[in-house]
Structure 1
Amino acid sequence: MPLDFSPSREPMTTFSLAGMTDVVLLLLIFFLLTSSFIPQMGIQVNLPQVDSASPVSEQSITVSLTKDGNYYVAGSPVPQARLVSELRARRTDQQFLIMRADQEARIGQFATVASAAQALNMRVLVATERAGQSR
C-alpha cells in the first residue's frame, strides 16, 4: 500500500490543547510534591541558630518551650505537672521527641522535658535554625 504524499490533502488547522493541559497539570503536581514543606507551628519561639541542621523525623512528638516558661505538646498548652502523662497519652509508636525551645528558655525546662522523654524511652532532638536563616 503506497503512501499518499500529494498536496491535495488539506493541512490540519486546529490544535488540541488537551495534551498541553495534561503536561501543565503534571508539572504543577510535580512542583507541589517536590517543594519543601516546612511545618510552621503556632507557638512562636526563637530557635537557636547553628551551622548545620538535620532533617526532622515524621514519627515524633513536638514539645515547645516558650521564654515565659510555658509548655506546649503538639500545639496544646500543658502544665509542667502533667507533661509526662500528656506525652504518654499522645504517644503511639513515636520514638523521638522534638524540643522546640526559645533561645531564652530556662535550663530547668530542658531538664523537665528530657526527664519526661527518658521516662517514656524517647530520644530528644532539639530543633534549631541554620545560622543566617531567621524568619
Structure 2
Amino acid sequence: MARSYVSNDELEEEGTVDLTPMLDVVFIMLIFFIVTASFIKEAGVEVNRPQANTAEQKNAAVLVAINADNSVWMDGRRVDIRSVRANIERLHAENPEGAVIIQADELASVKTFTEVLDQARQVVPPERVSLATEQ
C-alpha cells in the first residue's frame, strides 16, 4: 500500500469553502431591498379624521397631526405651534418632491388647523399641502 504524504497547508486548502461570493450576493440583495423599500412616515399620534368623499392619498414627505386637545405632533414628538414651520422645512428638505399632509382630529379647533396650514404653505406650494380625511 503506497502512502502519499501531503503537507498540512494543502490539507487546509482542500477543506475550506470560499464564502466571499455568497456574502457579496447577500449584501447586494440587502442594498436592493433597502433602496426599494417604501418607508411609512408616522406623525406620532392617532387622530380621528373627519369623513370626506374626495379623500385621496399623496406622496407624504411630512405628516403633521393635530390632536383633539389641539396639540401638534410631527415626526413622533409633540412640537410647539410656533416651531411647526421650522420642522416642516427640516423634514421637507429630506424629500423636496413630497407633500405635507395635515391629520387634524375632527374635534381639533379650526384656529390650530389654520395656523399649521399657513405655516406649511409658507414652506411648500399650496397644491402640495392637504388635509387627511377618511373615505
Q: TM-score, normalised by structure 1?
A: 0.60
Which residue of the partner structure matches residue 68 of structure 2? 67
Match of 2:55 among 34, 53, 56: 53
TM-superposed CA distance for 1:84, in Å, is 1.0
Moved over 6 A (4+): none
Which residue of the partner structure matches residue 132 of structure 2? 127
In the superposition, relative to structure 1, how do residues 57 and 104 fare at CA in structure 2: closer, same or farther (>3 Å)?
same
Contact 2:84–2:119 (CA under 8 A) maintained in structure 1: yes
Which residue of the partner structure matches residue 9 of structure 2? none
Which residue of the partner structure matches residue 79 of structure 1? 80
TM-superposed CA distance for 1:55, in Å, is 2.0
1:27-46 deviation line (CA, Å, top 9, x unaligned): xxxxxxxxxxx877641210
Which residue of the partner structure matches residue 118 of structure 2? 115
**Aligned pair count?**
93
Q: Distance in 1 between matches of 2:73 and 2:58?
A: 18
Q: TM-score, normalised by structure 2?
A: 0.60
Percent sequence identity is: 25
In the superposition, relative to structure 1, how do residues 110 and 79 fare at CA in structure 2: closer, same or farther (>3 Å)?
same
Which residue of the partner structure matches residue 23 of structure 2? none
TM-superposed CA distance for 1:53, in Å, is 2.1
Which residue of the partner structure matches residue 88 of structure 1? 89
Superposition CA RMSD, Å: 2.3
The answer to whether residue 105 in structure 2 is matched with residue 102 in structure 1 is: yes
TM-superposed CA distance for 1:57, in Å, is 1.3
Q: Distance in 2 between matches of 1:114 and 1:51?
A: 21
